[in-house]
Amino acid sequence: MLGNFQRSELRIEVPATPSTIRDRLLSPSSLTKWLFPQQMKFANQDLLTVGTTFETSFGPVAVKLQVDRVDSQCLRLLLSQGVDGFHEWYWGEGWVQSRLEGVSLLPLNLYQTATLLRLRESLRSTERR
């Protein structure tokens, strides 16, 4: 794999309960909505489970993801193709933390920051309803 090894860990406050955050991260239909315009390809399923694989793209760069771990407050995704590494999500009452490590030509920290901000905005819009 060509690219640079990159590591980043970010934590933000969000207006949500752990179960709301979990639902937002583990539901393919929800992921597709709050990560728009990022393109994601899922098999027909309601929830991400260990072993689930799916693809996403960042312009011309495709990334394959495989769910490695899921529990009540953690999601770990293994990344391959455009990024070789992993992306871990942890959450609790009012916070989300993202840990991303991998080799890629893509600016992973920029992607991670944008993703966390999109998630927070999605959770805020739910709270306003």
Residue 106 has a pLDDT of: 87
pTM of the model: 0.92
> Among candidates 12, 34, 38, which has minimal Cα distance to 99?
12
Residue 128 has a pLDDT of: 61
Residue 36 has a pLDDT of: 79
Backbone CA torsion sign across 100, 13, 29, 45: positive
Structural domains in the chain, CATH included, are 4-128 (3.30.530.20)
Residue 40 has a pLDDT of: 84
Cβ atoms of 98 and 117 within 8 Å: the answer is no
pLDDT along the chain (129 residues), means of 10: 91 96 94 84 86 88 94 96 96 97 92 94 79
Reported as type and span, the H/E element at residue 9 is strand 4-13
How many angstroms separate the CA atoms of 48 and 63, rounded? Answer: 17
Cβ atoms of 57 and 50 within 8 Å: the answer is no
How many angstroms separate the CA atoms of 68 and 92, rounded? Answer: 20
Residue 61 has a pLDDT of: 85
